[in-house]
Amino acid sequence: MKKSSEAPAIQYTIATSTLGNVLVAASPEGICAVTLGEDPKKLLRDVQKRFPKADLLEADTAMKRYAAKVVALIEHPTKGLDSPLHMHGTPFQQSVWEALCEIPFGKTATYAQIAKRIGKPKSVRAVAQACGSNHIAVAIPCHRVVRTDGSLSGYRWGARRKAELLKRERKEC
């Protein structure tokens, strides 16, 4: 969907994984969205809402390689993702997302621990909101954040997917 000649170009593709459809989108700077779901049209609408001024273009060969790496990360989480990320968010959100990337595979952290890690111990709710605003699923591992009692909390792409991602990580560690 073209928006204007000055709009940033974002390529996307939709792949499949054992956790459902995976939309992977990238700007020239790197992966800017990874979304999970059953309905490919809804995944595309979500990216259109996230980047309303962008020219959304169907993927080229390089973009399809990004998508293959993301699917490999979903299927075998400890392989990691050696692709650049292009995070779009406030400085606070980005600090939360960077802290999430420091949580080791197979481990979890609480919202309070993340708040302390970024130097904002009273910002637990804001940390939870930043996790919910993460549009780069799996690569920015918001699925590794749990409640203080260790139970699973919400996950933008469904509690079942969150539980399965954590199970896969623990199995491979």
Residues marked active site are found at 142
H-type helices in 22-84, by residue range? 40-50, 61-75
Tokens of 83: 């692709």
Tokens 């940033």 belong to residue? 8
Backbone torsions φ then ψ of 134, nearest 5 degrees? -65, 125
Contact 43, 21 (CB under 8 A): yes
Smallest Cα–Cα separation from 54: which of 33, 85, 82, 81?
33
> Counting Cβ atoms within 10 Å, is residue 91 exposed (0-12), middle (13-18) or buried (19+)?
exposed
- What is the three-class DSSP state of 67? helix
Gap between the Cα atoms of 18 and 49, Å rounded = 26
Q: How many alpha carbons fall within 13 Å on the CB side of residue 18?
A: 10
